[in-house]
Amino acid sequence: MTVPFVLPARLDLSAATPLRDALLGRRGGDLVLDAGAVAHLGGLCVQLLLAAAVSWRAAGHSLTLASRSQAFDEALSLFGLSADDLQAGQFACR
């Protein structure tokens, strides 16, 4: 069983580098993200999560969301994305 990586409440510019480092440290297997406490999701961190989704899929591993806050879902929606897009690692501009 994969232990979920709990995302911080605030995913903004200052969280981007630590998020990138944390994601890179989890390469090589399936990844479960817990976004249940996310209160703010900024564009740079969305890009990091999208890049991770593509990378995990390309490596033959899954990236799934264990839980999501309403703020996380709303932020994804503002960027034209959904949780399904993120988990699939495939998305198209809308």
CA angle 43/63/17 to nearest 5° reads 40
Compute the distance between CA of residue 43 and CA of residue 4 in angstroms, rounded to an integer: 22
CATH number at residue 70: 3.30.750.24
pLDDT number for residue 90: 65
Residue 26 lies in a domain: yes
Residue 94 lies in a domain: no
pLDDT string in tens for the chain (94-residue length): 689 999 999 999 999 999 999 999 999 999 999 999 999 999 999 999 999 999 999 999 999 999 999 999 999 999 999 999 888 876 554 4
Residue 93 lies in a domain: no
pTM of the predicted structure, to 2 decimals: 0.91
Question: Hey, what are 46's tokens?
Answer: 């969305």
Expressed as residue numbers, the domain containing 19 is 5-88
Number of domains comprising the chain: 1
Residue 15 lies in a domain: yes
